[in-house]
Amino acid sequence: MAAGWSGAKSLAKTYGQTAFDAIVAKTPRPEAPTYPTIAEALGAAPANGTKAFRILITRGRWHEKLLVDKPNVHLVGEDRTGSVLTFDAAAGMKRPDGEPWGTWGCASVIVRAPDFSATNLTIENAFDYVGNLAAPKFEPIGPNGAQAVALMLDAGNDRAAFERVDFIGHQDTLFADAGRSLFQDCRIDGSVDFIFGGGNALFERCQLHSRYRPGKERQGYVAVPCTPSAQPFGLTFVTCRLTRDAAIPDGSVALGRAWRPGRTFPDGKYGDPDAVGAAVYVSCWMDAHIDARGWDEMGYTARDGRRVMLRSDDARLFEHDSSGPGAHRSGSRRLLPRERVSAFARERVLDAWRPG
């Protein structure tokens, strides 16, 4: 029996099944249908499945741009760092039709269906961000066109769960823009705005790792929410660790900034006034790369066409019980009122969803 299949059977036992519903592998495996690509395995999932359709991703770099638009798809990696879902599209690069991908289209993995989960694998956008800083390869769109998303949780997603998953990118690594999601014991690597969006995402015991940007005084921003005003929770980090590449200087990374994305309205296109970002750090450890000021402003286009700044005080950006050399006390780093701390318990953040 092949050593790889022995490992697969062990994983199946661990996850409570005698076998997976599909296996992605270079060569056929016994006891479950085997597919040469992840896209083909996703195609085999029921269109309206009511129970988990489990796909084993064997070791390898699977270079595919993936869309999950069926419910209850569960991806399980054979090896956390060896089972890699990767693509390399940036926002400014052109799609097959000649138009740019844009931030909303460039992700390596896009989820548009409920009850998705991923465990024990890596999701990566392998775009050469640092190389592009030195020699841009395309016309910029938005700030620079170098936004390169690894995972996007898009409209239609809800109750997405991630455990022991590594997310690798630089600018805009993880785009949690819709629905509820839970990230446990994950690692997210990036530099500029690398965890962002308007969804309700809870991160527990995750490592938020800042990557070095050569020649940049402001090395990056961690959490960048555009939460709708009526939504009580946005990006919530509980007992996480904020770490850095060794080359990143002290005080050069912001906890984040609130984002007011441009949207089209009957009277024009301008920054969405309903985007009142919410991000909270609860009992997180922070290395010295975190700026003592905490949060930065972020520019947006106002209704009258002026370019204005959205201040951190005009959004919902807080922390509680921070520790480590980056945990400073300053007037610009607002503490979560003590009476509100209990509101950030998991069952309240996730609005009664109990992940299995």
Among the listed residues 153, 155, 101, 154, the one whose alpha carbon sits nearest the alpha carbon of residue 127: 101
- State yes or no: is 274 an active-site residue: no
* Cα distance between residue 293 and residue 173, in whole Å: 24
Among the listed residues 131, 81, 129, 88, the one whose alpha carbon sits nearest the alpha carbon of residue 109: 88
Residue with tokens 């697969």: 8
Largest CA distance in the chain: 69
* Cα distance between residue 8 and residue 136, in whole Å: 42
Residue pair 101/60 in contact (Cβ under 8 Å)? The answer is: no
Q: Which value, in Å, is the radius of gyration of the alpha carbons in the chain?
A: 20
- State yes or no: is 172 an active-site residue: yes
From 172, 177, 287, 296, active-site residue: 172
Torsions phi, psi for 352 (to 5 deg)? 75, 0
In three-state secondary structure terms, 337 is coil
Q: Which structure tokens are listed for 319?
A: 């922390």
| Segment (H or E) for 57 | strand 53-57
**Which is it for the CA torsion 339, 341, 345, 350, positive or negative?**
positive
From 166, 177, 189, 193, active-site residue: 193
In three-state secondary structure terms, 37 is coil
Residue pair 175/152 in contact (Cβ under 8 Å)? The answer is: yes
Give the active site residues.
172, 193
